[in-house]
């Protein structure tokens, strides 16, 4: 018997199965196209295994309220074909096993909490800066959701005085995602973020936005660790720039851990999401 994991991203789905010790036995990566096409491949993968349960970490926004009529749906995504898609329903039709359903970033935070950078801590935030920006918060082993899941990527920020960019988010413009996601960088600079050199002055501006958001999360949640992942954070110089601007903005108002240990990269590297999904599968009832 196996635990199943689906890390459902806007670009790709990573599916994996593990043994009872959560050691991964098989995994595949499938491009995210239409629900029909993508799920056909997801089913072909999992049909090979006898499953105990499945943990799903999905791109969002999603409905995680068990009492809601649209529980298990991907809700207002601009991604074609996936708007109002009954994701958990489609899985349940195929597999009569418990299914845990949360956001991709909640799952990654869960993975990092138990097995990654925060495994010695009681709380952590995981934030991804990629095609979009999103975050999850784990406290004392629990993913923290309220009326819905957090949307840490859409906190509103003060524009940098030297940045005239109008923002990429159709809802807010100057939210963290609108100002700092990969496509916002590309839009502003006219080239893909991964082709920009590490010494470019723009990274100070990127760090300014991320630092503002991290100050806000710190003041609201007082996490023990903030883990930054996603494609944009492959620009490793950002970590130090963010720490410096974070210190300047927080201005010692509250005590935080040493910044080198507070604002860190994922211990599980690119496996935080899948690991979190497997851990959630193990807990699923
Ligand atoms: P997704 O968010 O789709 O799951 P990623 O986390 O890989 O995937 O994020 C993709 C975004 O990250 C793209 O906008 C891409 O331009 C940007 N990106 C990927 N690699 C780098 C890099 N080395 N430096 C800066 N930006 C990058
Ligand atoms: Zn927004």
pLDDT in tens, 29-74: 999 999 999 999 999 999 999 999 999 999 989 999 999 999 999 9
Residue 77 has pLDDT above 90, yes or no: no
Q: How far apart are CA 221 and CA 125, in angstroms?
A: 9
The encoded tokens of residue 23 equal 């050691």
Question: Ligand 1: does its nearest atom lie under 6 Å from the Cβ of 270?
Answer: no
Q: How far, in Å, is the centroid of ligand 2 from the Cα of 159?
A: 14
SS3 210: helix
CATH number of 118-264: 3.30.420.40
Picking from 259, 267, 270, 274, the residue whose alpha carbon sits closest to that of residue 115 is 267
Chain centroid offset of residue 218 CA: 18
- Confidence category of residue 199, pLDDT binned at 50, 70, 90: confident
Q: Say whether pTM exceeds 0.85.
A: yes
User: Minimal CA–CA distance to 88: which of 41, 135, 55, 134?
Assistant: 55
Average pLDDT over residues 110-120: 98
Distance CA 141, CA 172 (A): 32
- Report how far ligand 2's centroid is from the alpha carbon of 177 (Å): 6
Residues in a beta bridge with 209 = none
Average the pLDDT over 81-88 and give the result. 96
Confirm or reject: Cβ of 234 under 6 Å from ligand 1: yes
Q: What is the radius of gyration, based on Cα positions, of the chain? A: 19
What does the mean pLDDT of the chain come to?
97
The whole-angstrom separation of Cα 188 and Cα 204 is 14
Ligand nearest to the CA of 152: 2
Q: Is 26 in the pocket of ligand 1 (CB under 6 A)?
A: no
Which percentage of the chain shows pLDDT scores above 70?
100
- The protein residue whose alpha carbon is closest to atom 13 in ligand 1 is 182
pLDDT of residue 153: 97
In the structure encoding, which two tokens stand for residue 164, read together? 């005239």
Q: Smallest Cα–Cα separation from 221: which of 85, 125, 157, 112?
A: 125
Going by pLDDT thresholds of 50, 70 and 90, the confidence category of residue 21 is very high
Starting at the edge strand found earlier in the chain, the sheet holding 226-229 runs 142-143, 133-139, 123-129, 226-229, 263-264
What pLDDT was estimated at residue 161? Answer: 97
Which one of the ligands is nearest to 233 CA? 1
Whole-angstrom distance, CA of residue 181 vs CA of residue 39: 27
Per-residue pLDDT, averaged over 120-149, amounts to 97
Per-residue tokens: 157: 């920020």
Nearest to 184 by CA among 226, 227, 237, 230: 230
Taking the centre of ligand 1 as the mean of its atom positions, its distance from the CA of residue 179, in whole angstroms, is: 14
Instruction: Take residue 190 and report the two structure tokens written for it.
Output: 């006219």
pLDDT at 191 over 90: yes
Per domain, the residue ranges of the chain are 2-106+270-283, 118-264
Over the stretch 211-221, which tens digit does the pLDDT of each residue have?
A: 999 999 999 99
By the 8 A CB rule, do 249 and 215 touch? yes
Question: Three-state SS for 85?
Answer: strand
| Cα–Cα dist 13/276, whole Å | 14
**Res 137: pLDDT:** 98
| pLDDT value, residue 207 | 98
User: What's the CATH number for 2-106+270-283?
Assistant: 3.30.420.40
pLDDT for residue 203 is more than 90 = yes
- 64 phi and psi angles, rounded to 5 deg: -110, 5
Q: Which atom of ligand 1 is nearest to the CA of 59?
A: 4
Residue identifier of the C-alpha nearest atom 7 of ligand 1: 231
Q: Evaluate if residue 79 carries a pLDDT over 90.
A: no
Which is it for the CA torsion 183, 185, 190, 192, positive or negative? negative
Nearest to 26 by CA among 53, 5, 57: 5
Least distant ligand from the CA of 171? 2
- Identical fold for domains 2-106+270-283 and 118-264, yes or no, is yes
For 138-185, what is each residue's pLDDT tens digit? 999 999 999 999 999 999 999 999 999 999 999 998 999 999 999 999
Instruction: Look at residue 280 in the predicted model and tell me its pLDDT.
Output: 98
Cβ of residue 231 lying under 6 Å from some atom of ligand 1: yes
CA 129 to chain centre: 8
Structure tokens at 42: 């997801």
């Amino acid at each position: 018997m196996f635990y199943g994991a689906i890390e459902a991203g806007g670009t790709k789905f990573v599916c994996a199965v593990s043994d009872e010790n959560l050691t991964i036995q098989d995994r595949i990566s499938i491009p995210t196209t239409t629900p029909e096409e993508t799920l056909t491949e997801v089913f072909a993968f999992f049909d090979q295994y006898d499953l105990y349960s499945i943990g799903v970490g999905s791109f969002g926004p999603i409905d995680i309220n068990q009492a809601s009529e649209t529980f298990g749906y991907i809700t207002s995504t601009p991604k074609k074909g996936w708007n109002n898609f009954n994701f958990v329903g489609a899985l349940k039709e195929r597999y009569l096993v418990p299914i845990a359903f949360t956001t991709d970033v909640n799952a990654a935070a869960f993975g990092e909490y138990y097995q990654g950078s925060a495994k010695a801590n009681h709380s952590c935030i995981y934030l991804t800066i990629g095609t979009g920006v999103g975050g999850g918060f784990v406290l004392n082993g629990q993913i923290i959701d309220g009326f819905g899941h957090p949307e840490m990527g859409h906190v509103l920020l003060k524009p940098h005085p030297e940045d005239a960019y109008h923002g990429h988010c159709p809802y807010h413009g100057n939210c963290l995602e609108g100002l700092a996601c990969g496509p916002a960088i590309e839009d502003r600079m006219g080239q893909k973020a991964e082709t920009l050199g590490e010494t470019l002055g723009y990274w100070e501006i990127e760090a300014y936005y991320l630092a503002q958001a991290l100050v806000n999360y710190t003041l609201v949640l007082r996490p023990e660790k903030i883990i930054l992942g996603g494609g944009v954070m492959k620009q490793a110089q950002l970590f130090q720039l963010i720490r410096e601007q974070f210190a300047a903005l927080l201005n010692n108002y509250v005590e935080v851990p040493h910044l080198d240990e507070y604002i860190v990269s994922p211990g599980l590297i690119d496996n935080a999401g899948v690991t979190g999904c497997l851990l959630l599968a193990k807990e699923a009832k």
